[in-house]
């Protein structure tokens, strides 16, 4: 018996341009789709290609302030009713206003809602929205290239159905917006592994951020040192994520699979290979939970296409041949799905420093969080 997977995608999600020199390039979604198509991923009887729909205003305001939503709509139309700075928009910054911004944000959010709806009645085991995972967006402002927080909105839908949710975020950046949306909620366990906020945007995600009120012990942060490699990363993941999920016993797994942790990513400093990323995704698949997967960061565009193709193969329990199919190899120059090895640019003392840092984070999580859940 194999798993049923849905890939929520439409080419319209890959066309917008935030700004000519902006690192977040929607075309990476098209590259991923093309590579999966070259592997015949959508001809598999267990794989459904599902169309997204735009989120409704009601769905968006389940997480975002109505005035912020109205401001995004007006900016997108070129109106100037509001001061963009008040909502963290600005031409030269992280969050530029661009034509079609509102529609693009509604569609990527709606794709995560469609994925959440696919969790109903076990129609699929897993649904993957590569355009989602915009985990920094806050209730009343844009942040870190994110306009609407689709993971938080999708989780809100799942909570409304009475489900308990674990959210695992493996983007290189802290999943601050999702953590904040459920900071006092004991029906959502958020777990974020990321490069420490001491070194990287958004400057949060410290182990001491454990939740508040009834949600105390339900926000988990595993900060990591720059240049953390596969071995240390996977060790920290395995020490924290599986035991906490086993103890929390959620109904649904929601993940943010940002691949800006990749060793050649231009925005972050972790040293994860496609092998390490695949192993982390395999751990998540092994939880055996209904699974809503989203994309996230990723600014080495070839790495994004290869790693999310690998991830969808794991979701479908298919091993794609390591050699990239000829049409994509010729068009994009990608050779293999898996890295043969990560360039050994990390000196031994830095490698050791990263290990010590991860050990401290894991130990603190065990002290601060595990007792709440009687996790072992």
Q: Does 171 bind Zn ion (CB under 5 A)?
A: yes
Q: Closest approach of Cβ 172 to Zn ion, in Å?
A: 5
- Residue 165 beta carbon to Zn ion: minimum distance, rounded to whole angstroms: 21
Q: Does the footprint of Zn ion cover residue 151 (CB under 5 A)? A: no
Catalytic pick from 64, 136, 194, 263? 136
Give the x-and-dash track for 19-58 against Zn ion (CB under 5 A).
Answer: ----------------------------------------
Identify the CA nearest to 145 among candidates 187, 173, 182, 164. Answer: 173
For residue 88, the minimal CB distance to Zn ion (Å) is 16
Contact flag: residue 59 with Zn ion (CB under 5 A): no
User: Interface mask (CB under 5 A) for Zn ion, residues 292-331, using x and -?
Assistant: -----x----------------------------------
Tokens of 150: 């689709």
Q: Identify which of 168, 66, 148, 167 has the alpha carbon closest to the alpha carbon of residue 108.
A: 148
135 is a catalytic site residue: no
Q: Residue 333 CB: number of other CB atoms within 10 A?
A: 9
- Quick check: 258 binds Zn ion (CB under 5 A)? yes
Contact criterion met (CB below 8 Å) for 148 and 64: yes
Instruction: Put the strands of the sheet holding 47-50 in their side by side order.
Output: 47-50, 5-8, 126-129, 291-294, 252-256, 165-169, 188-195, 219-224
Sign of the alpha-carbon torsion through 175, 180, 183, 186: negative
Stretch of 204-212, 251-259, 301-309, 330-338 lying at the interface with Zn ion (CB under 5 A): 251-259
Does residue 202 have a cis bond before it (omega within 30 degrees)? yes
Give 271's DSSP letter: B
Of the candidate residues 16, 173, 263, 351, the single one contacting Zn ion (CB under 5 A): 173
Minimum distance from residue 292 beta carbon to Zn ion (Å): 19
Total number of residues that touch Zn ion (CB under 5 A): 6
Element (H, E) at 189: strand 188-195
Q: Dig out the tokens for 180 from the structure.
A: 């904040």
On whether the CB atoms of residues 89 and 75 are closer than 8 A, the answer is yes
The residue whose Cβ lies closest to Zn ion is 297
User: Can residue 136 be called a binding residue for Zn ion (CB under 5 A)?
Assistant: no
Q: Are 291 and 253 in contact (CB under 8 A)?
A: yes
Which residue, 175 or 313, has its beta carbon nearer to Zn ion? Answer: 175
Q: Which is nearer to Zn ion, 41 or 172 (CB)?
A: 172
Q: Does residue 169 belong to the site contacting Zn ion (CB under 5 A)?
A: no
Query: Directed axis angle between helix 301-316 and helix 27-38, to 10°?
Result: 50
* Residue 265 within binding range of Zn ion, rule CB under 5 A: no
Query: Binder to Zn ion among 150, 230, 260, 300 (CB under 5 A)?
Result: 260
How many Å apart are CA 376 and CA 240, to the nearest integer? 9
- Residues in CB range of 169: below 8 A, 6 or more apart: 135, 151, 175, 178, 190, 191, 192, 193, 194, 255, 256, 258, 296
Q: Which is nearer to Zn ion, 124 or 170 (CB)?
A: 170
Task: Output 172 or 178, the one with its CB closest to Zn ion.
Answer: 172
CB of 257 to Zn ion, least distance (A): 11
Report yes or no: 228 and 358 within 8 Å, Cβ to Cβ. Answer: yes
Supply the minimum distance, in Å, between the C-beta of residue 136 and Zn ion.
Answer: 8
Q: Contact residues for Zn ion (CB under 5 A)?
A: 171-173, 258, 260, 297
Active site residues: 136
């Amino acid at each position: 018996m194999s798993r049923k997977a849905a890939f929520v995608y439409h080419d319209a999600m890959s066309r917008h341009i935030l700004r000519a020199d902006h690192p977040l390039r929607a075309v990476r979604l098209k590259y991923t789709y093309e590579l999966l198509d070259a592997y015949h991923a959508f001809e598999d009887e267990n794989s459904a290609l599902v169309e997204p729909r735009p989120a409704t205003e009601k769905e968006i305001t389940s997480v975002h302030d109505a005035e912020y939503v109205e401001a995004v709509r007006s900016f997108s139309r070129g109106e100037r009713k509001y001061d963009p700075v008040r909502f963290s928009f600005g031409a030269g910054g992280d969050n530029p206003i661009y034509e079609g911004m509102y529609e693009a944000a509604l569609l990527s959010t709606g794709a995560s809602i469609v994925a959440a709806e696919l969790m109903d009645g076990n129609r699929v085991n897993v649904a993957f929205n590569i355009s989602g995972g915009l985990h920094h967006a806050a209730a009343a402002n844009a942040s870190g290239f994110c306009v609407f927080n689709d993971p938080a909105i999708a989780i809100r839908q799942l909570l409304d159905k009475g489900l308990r949710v674990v959210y695992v975020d493996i983007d290189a950046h802290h999943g601050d917006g999702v953590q904040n949306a459920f900071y006092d909620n004991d029906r959502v366990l958020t777990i974020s592994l990321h490069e420490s906020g001491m070194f990287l945007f958004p400057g949060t995600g410290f182990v001491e951020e454990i939740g508040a009120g009834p949600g105390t012990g339900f926000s988990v942060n595993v900060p990591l040192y720059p240049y953390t490699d596969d071995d240390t990363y996977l060790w920290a993941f395995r020490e924290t994520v599986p035991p906490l999920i086993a103890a929390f016993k959620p109904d649904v797994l929601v993940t943010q699979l940002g691949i800006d942790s990749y060793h050649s990513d231009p925005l972050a400093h972790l040293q994860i290979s496609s092998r390490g990323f695949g192993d982390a995704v395999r751990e998540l698949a092994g939880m055996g939970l209904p699974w809503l997967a989203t994309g996230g960061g990723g600014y080495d565009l070839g790495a994004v296409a290869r790693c999310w193709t690998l991830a969808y193969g794991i979701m479908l329990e298919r091993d794609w041949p390591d050699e990239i199919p000829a049409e994509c190899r010729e068009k994009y120059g990608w050779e293999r799905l898996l890295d043969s090895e990560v360039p050994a640019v990390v000196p031994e003392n830095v490698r050791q420093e990263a290990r010590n840092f991860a050990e401290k984070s894991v130990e603190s999580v065990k002290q601060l969080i595990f007792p709440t859940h009687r996790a072992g």
